[in-house]
Amino acid sequence: MEAIVRKNPEVRVSHDNMKAYLYLPDSIMYDYTVPDVQEALKKSGVSYGILEGSIQDVIDARMFGREVLIAQGDEPKDGVDGYYEYKFNKDFSKKPKASPDGSVDYWSIKMLETVTEGQEVAVYHPAVQGTDGMDVKGKMVLAKRGRDLAPLKGKGFDRSADGLSYTAQTDGKIEMRNDRITISSVYEIGGDVDLSIGNIDFRGDVVIHGGVCSGATVKATGTITIDGIVEGARIEAGRDIVLRSGVMGASRASITTRGNIFAKFFEYTRVHANGFIQADVFLNCQVSCGENIILEGKKASIIGGEVGAIQGIVVNTLGSNGQVRTKVKIGNGSSVMRRIGILKSKIQVEKANLDKIERGLKVLKDMKSDPRRTELLRVKIRDAALLAEDTAELEKLEDQLERARGGSVKVIGRVYPGVCVEIDELKLQVQEEKKGLEFTRDMDRIVMCSM
């Protein structure tokens, strides 16, 4: 007769040590006791989270031949990092939306977000620290710590004593760049700019809810937004210009910016932008643009005048069926190439002169009181400044050449006779009405391709 071998309880611990399972082999001749199970747990290293009440239940219910959860650790609760809740719109679009009829809605453009004095602009939610856990073997399981953020940087706002609330110090424009909040002044005019208002020259942004009358001048280092019609006035901005209702210039208006221009229309106006221009109509205007000119609305057209851009032009209608003389040009003319050649020659001479000066200063290095040395130093400073200025201009023009490479004039709708297209130094006169064309440069000629 075989000897009866007593089978001991078995304990299996999960791979992460967060749970332990009890297994009681099938028993016919004898019963298990609580101390038997406790001994098995001890041998397995389980010392924490033991479900003491379950041990007797498993034995009494004779749960043989299957695993039963007998111990469970405490899972760690990770912390939450601190974060800022901003009470202003940081991500509004500065581009106009298309209307259902295919036109462009210039009233949809939003160039700036404004706040009022005392308005809460941001709320800080501090980090929530986590709670450490414990596995069934009594080892601590560390929770992820919540990290607090540094206080907001910038200007134009106050921080509360508890560091949780930020409020505007004054009325103005609010913007966020590189995690810095800046609240700066905005000059806002409720009606027209006329003789009662006078000329405007403002460091910051200007918002005019009316129009600008003939003879007035509006200058701003920031953006300029004008809701009403601009007449024969002068508008100059350091950043973008938005003309929601357009310009009736009467050959006296001038619109200039270092940024971009958005406008409903231009009539008899001189326009220049270092950036791009988006509008619906140019009628007998003189236009220059450092990037692209885009007239994509259903009625977008260029009629008369001279419209030029460095990178390219997109327009729905070019010219008119009355064969109005209209010139569009892209790229760089021969004057730019001549200027680049002149600058390269000047820079070569200036570098040679500076080399001669350096050699002369080496000869006179021990003669500090010699007037010749003083004169050479003066000339060196002057010539070094000239060299830096010419080099900067050359780099700018060469960049302009590179940006113009591969540009084109795209006409989505019709192009009429009377239109002259220029690409760099090349010219092409349109002789007959066409539709859906792209003008590009191919070696030494301009080609028209159907789109």
In sequence order, what E strands does 217-371 have? 217-220, 224-226, 234-237, 241-243, 247-257, 261-273, 277-289, 292-295, 301-309, 312-315, 317-318, 326-330
Mean pLDDT over residues 81-93, rounded?
Answer: 86
* pTM metric for this prediction: 0.63
Question: Is position 178 within any domain?
Answer: yes
Phi, psi of 361, rounded to the nearest 5 degrees: -70, -30
pLDDT digits (tens, 9 = 90+) for 374-408: 888 888 899 899 999 999 989 888 888 888 788 89
- The whole-angstrom separation of Cα 28 and Cα 48 is 31
Question: Is position 30 within any domain?
Answer: yes
Q: Are residues 191 and 294 in the same domain?
A: yes
Q: Are residues 349 and 249 in the same domain?
A: no
Question: Is position 5 within any domain?
Answer: no
Indicate the number of domains in the chain: 4
* Structure token digits, residue 310: 């460095």
Q: Are residues 208 and 223 in the same domain?
A: yes
- The whole-angstrom separation of Cα 164 and Cα 450 is 61
* Structure token digits, residue 74: 């405490």
Q: Are residues 124 and 217 in the same domain?
A: no
Phi, psi of 350, rounded to the nearest 5 degrees: -65, -40
3-state helix, strand and coil shares in percent for the chain, rounded to the nearest 5: 20, 40, 40
* Structure token digits, residue 7: 């089978």
Residue type, 288: S
* Structure token digits, residue 345: 């020659």
Question: Is position 77 within any domain?
Answer: no
Q: Are residues 436 and 314 in the same domain?
A: yes
Q: Are residues 316 and 231 in the same domain?
A: yes
Instruction: Look over the chain and give the mean of its residue pLDDT values, rounded to a whole number.
Output: 89
pLDDT digits (tens, 9 = 90+) for 255-287: 999 999 999 999 999 999 999 999 999 999 999
- Residue 371: which domain range? 334-404
Kindly report the CATH number assigned to the domain that includes residue 345.
1.10.287
Q: Are residues 171 and 198 in the same domain?
A: no
Q: Are residues 101 and 26 in the same domain?
A: no
pLDDT above 70 coverage of the chain, percent: 94
Q: pLDDT-based confidence at 101, cuts 50/70/90?
A: low
Q: Are residues 252 and 382 in the same domain?
A: no
Question: Is position 298 within any domain?
Answer: yes
Q: Are residues 282 and 392 in the same domain?
A: no
